[in-house]
């Protein structure tokens, strides 16, 4: 039972991102490099926020303190990787076998956002999945029996949000839409702070708002890349 729970939760958290990677990134080495580089920058953000948490001794006991700095550093490094990708865009066009890697500026944002999301999701759920293997399961003597399920659903939400956030963020910097930049930063902070409610097992109060924000962010990202109701209907009807 524990092994089935492990694979079920892992597939829920990483099934969609793995499909996105397989069909849109895995065939192109340049995109793979960009994804790995984005994941590395997210790790740098985690390292710096951890250093701040470690240095400020009086506030170590407040999880919200470290969380806020983690969000700030993540968005700062999202900006850093944006600048790097824009400066190296011409070079990527020269070395890429497939010109489509960089002919659409939104592709770079999508790939780097997915890199951010995958590494963020891995760090968020890897220990939880390790506990899911056994020897016991949640909910028998203490804890909620839906803990693993909700943690996996939250991880999936975070991965997709990072992908959409990068698309919106990169386009906002290109077009000077500062309201979109503010939306990305504030919604990231809001989504992260909501996860603090999980300590009280208020999972519904976390997942419902976060998935609502995910839907809104997905629509914004879709509109940013030039999507419309007409193109959406054509996609659904395979025309």
Q: What is the pLDDT of residues 12-35, one digit of tens each?
A: 999 999 999 999 999 888 889 999
Taking the CA atoms of residue 231, residue 163, residue 63 and residue 46 in that order, the dihedral angle to the nearest 10 degrees is -170
Question: Is residue 209 predicted with pLDDT exceeding 90?
Answer: yes
- Whether 115 and 81 have beta carbons less than 8 Å apart is answered as no
Number of structural domains the chain divides into: 1
CA-to-CA distance for 114 and 74, rounded, in angstroms?
14
What pLDDT shows up at residue 142?
61
Q: What pTM, to 2 d.p., does this model score?
A: 0.89
- Distance between CA atoms of residues 137 and 79, nearest Å: 41
Mean pLDDT value across the chain: 85
Range in 60-64, 113-117, 208-212 the model is least confident about: 60-64
Per-residue model confidence as pLDDT tens digits over 141-198: 566 778 888 889 999 999 999 999 999 999 999 988 999 999 999 999 999 999 888 8
Which of the two residues, 238 and 19, has the higher pLDDT score?
Answer: 19
Residue range of the domain that includes 85: 1-237
Three-class HEC string of the chain: CHHHHHHHHHHHHHHHHHHHHHHHCCCCHHHHHHHHHHHHHHHHHHHHHHHHHHHCHHHCCCHHHHHHHHHHHHHHHHHHHHHHHHHCHHHHHHHCCCCHHHHCHHHHHHHHHHHHHHHHHHHHHHHHHHHHCCCCCCCCCCCCCCHHHHHHHHHHHHHHHHHHHHHHHHHHHHHCCHHHHHHHHHHHHHHHHHHHHHHHCCHHHHHHHHHHHHHHHHHHHHHHCCCCHHHHHHHHCCC
List the one residue out of 39, 37, 42 whose CA is nearest residue 70.
42
**Closest Cα partner for 155 from 182, 178, 122?**
122
Q: 203-224 and 178-194 helices cross at what angle (nearest 10)? A: 160
- Residue 177, number of CB atoms within 10 A of its CB: 15
Q: How far apart are CA 184 and CA 230, in angstroms?
A: 26
């Amino acid at each position: 039972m524990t092994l089935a729970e492990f694979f079920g939760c892992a597939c829920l958290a990483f099934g969609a991102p793995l499909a996105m990677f397989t069909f849109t990134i895995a065939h192109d080495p340049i995109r793979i490099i960009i994804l790995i580089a984005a994941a590395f920058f997210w790790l740098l953000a985690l390292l710096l926020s951890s250093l701040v948490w470690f240095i400020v001794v009086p506030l170590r006991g407040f999880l919200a303190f470290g969380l806020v700095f983690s969000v700030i550093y993540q968005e700062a490094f999202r900006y850093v990787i944006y600048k790097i990708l824009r400066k190296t865009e011409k070079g990527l066009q020269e070395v890429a076998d497939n010109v489509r890697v960089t002919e659409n500026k939104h592709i770079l944002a999508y790939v780097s956002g997915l890199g951010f999301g995958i590494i963020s999701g891995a760090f968020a759920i890897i220990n939880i999945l390790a506990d899911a293997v056994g020897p016991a399961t949640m909910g028998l003597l203490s804890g909620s029996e839906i803990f693993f399920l909700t943690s996996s659903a939250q991880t999936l939400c975070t991965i997709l949000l990072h992908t959409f956030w990068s698309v919106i963020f990169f386009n906002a910097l290109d077009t000077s839409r500062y309201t979109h930049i503010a939306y990305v930063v504030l919604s990231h902070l809001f989504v992260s702070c909501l996860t603090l409610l999980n300590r009280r097992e208020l999972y519904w109060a976390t997942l419902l708002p976060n998935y609502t924000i995910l839907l809104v962010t997905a629509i914004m990202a879709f509109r940013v890349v030039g999507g419309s109701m007409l193109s959406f209907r054509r996609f659904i009807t395979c025309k």
